[in-house]
Amino acid sequence: MTHPKNIGDQIGDAVQDALEHQDFSKIQEMVWQGIGVATKGIGEGISQAAETSRKMYEEYQRAQAERLEQNRKLDEFNRIAPSRFGSAHGMKIGGTLMAVLGGMFSFSFGATAFIALIGVLAGSANLLGIPAAALLALTGASVGVTAAGGSRMKLSNRFSRYVKAIGTADSIELDDLACKTGRSEKDVEKDIEKLIDKDLFLQGHLDGDEDILFLTDDAYDDYQTYRRQAAEKQAREQLRQQAASERAQGRPLTDEERERLAKGRKLLENVDARIPDLGSDTVQKKARAIHAVVKSILDRAEQDPDVIDELDQLVEYYLPLTIKLLDAYAELAEQPIQSQSIGASRQEIENTLDTLIRAFAKLHDSLFREMTWDVSTDISVLNAVLAQDGLTEDPFDKKAGGNKQ
């Protein structure tokens, strides 16, 4: 392949050869070849430049996006920090003063005590008139002040690291905080307890059972509500399992309970048998609704015999009344002349069937109330777990989000 940087020399040689031999036939071919090579080189250069430019722009976009996200997080942190984090400036200054003054006094008292001891050992009188034991005690106290000051300074520095690691989170697990700050979970827990006592976590709550630090009162209250609901749900589940176990081991149905259920199912069959004769699609739908609800009630009663006592009114009054109403409606619907009074009677029966449907539904709900409570609690627990996994809105953030103006 002809390299672009040699094409000029080749064309020059061709021209010189043409002049010498008076043969210019190859010059045009060399010129076109040179143009092709140069064009290709230019194209490759442009392509490389375009690719480099594209990569640079993509890198710029990524950097810009990262910068905007960092600024967003910083703005959010600056907005919420005053209500969550106190200032450790005073603690740091106090610690520094304690360390400096304690060090100075430690050196002074220590040096004086050393001189006094030397004098006593040499048999000389104590020129200062201060017992060596007192000087040593003062030296020890000064060392203690120095150590306490150093501890305060270190704790204030760790507080800054904790704040940075927590960021805008409403809560954080201690093992996660320990991992982010390079300390043991036990040491982190001790630090957090001290910092809460010193009001540096202004709304801080430490859940010792779960080892979670909550940064807002709302987040802590929501979590306590969630735990209470979970505990209540667990207790109800245990009671339900116990009841189910007792039924499985079971007390059998008494003869009276079997008769009552059999009577209810027989009446329900009579309701079903009358549906085709009702004529009106609307009334047929209402009769089918009654049949479905009552069947569910009877099925539930067969599974849990303890509720059968609640079915007296259903079996002895409501179902027979339903059958009478359906018979009356069917008879009215068969009349060849539908007078105004017949129409009014049919409408009144329809309205009464609506009332019966509501009554049966209310009885049905009362029998299944425990189950619906469990389902509601299951949903609440599921939402909280999903939120903790980042799969939906965090309930700990709802109130904080609702306070944003």
**For residue range 75-88, what is the model confidence (pLDDT) as tens digits?**
787 888 888 888 87
Question: Mean of the pLDDT values across residues 198-216?
Answer: 85
What pLDDT is stored for residue 266 in this prediction? 92
- DSSP-derived letter for residue 200 is S
Cα-trace Rg, the chain: 45
Question: 169 falls in which pLDDT band (50, 70, 90)?
Answer: confident
Amino acid found at 346: R
What pLDDT is stored for residue 401 in this prediction? 45
- Beta-ladder partners of 201: 85
Question: Mean of the pLDDT values across residues 8-37?
Answer: 56
pLDDT of 263 over the 80 cut: yes
What mean pLDDT value characterizes the chain?
A: 75
What pLDDT is stored for residue 256 in this prediction? 87
> pLDDT tens-digit profile of 317-332?
888 988 898 888 888 8
Question: Mean of the pLDDT values across residues 144-156?
Answer: 79
What pLDDT is stored for residue 105 in this prediction? 67
What pLDDT is stored for residue 118 in this prediction? 65
pLDDT of 403 over the 70 cut: no
Token reading at 306: 């303890």
Kindly report the pTM of this predicted structure: 0.42
How many Cβ atoms are within 10 Å of 61's Cβ, its own excluded? 10
Cα dihedral sign for 52, 58, 60, 63? negative
pLDDT of 354 over the 80 cut: yes
Token reading at 225: 């509500």
> pLDDT tens-digit profile of 92-118?
787 777 767 767 766 666 666 666 666
- More confident of the two residues 6 and 102: 102
Token reading at 194: 């001290």
Token reading at 321: 């009344």
- More confident of the two residues 221 and 51: 221
> Distance between CA atoms of 10 and 21, rounded to whole angstroms?
16
Which residues are within 8 A (CB) of 249 and not within 5 positions of it... i.e. 6 or more apart? none
pLDDT of 289 over the 60 cut: yes
Question: Mean of the pLDDT values across residues 26-52?
Answer: 58
Question: 402 falls in which pLDDT band (50, 70, 90)?
Answer: very low
pLDDT of 160 over the 70 cut: yes
Nearest to 81 by CA among 73, 89, 91: 73
What pLDDT is stored for residue 394 in this prediction? 47
Alpha carbon of residue 399 to chain centroid:
13
> pLDDT tens-digit profile of 138-149?
767 767 777 777
Question: Mean of the pLDDT values across residues 170-181?
Answer: 89
Please state, in angstroms and as integers, the Cα–Cα distance from residue 221 to each residue in 198, 207, 227, 284, 399, following that order: 22, 11, 10, 52, 10
Question: 1 falls in which pLDDT band (50, 70, 90)?
Answer: very low
> Distance between CA atoms of 93 and 157, rounded to whole angstroms?
12
> Distance between CA atoms of 99 and 156, rounded to whole angstroms?
14
- More confident of the two residues 139 and 250: 139
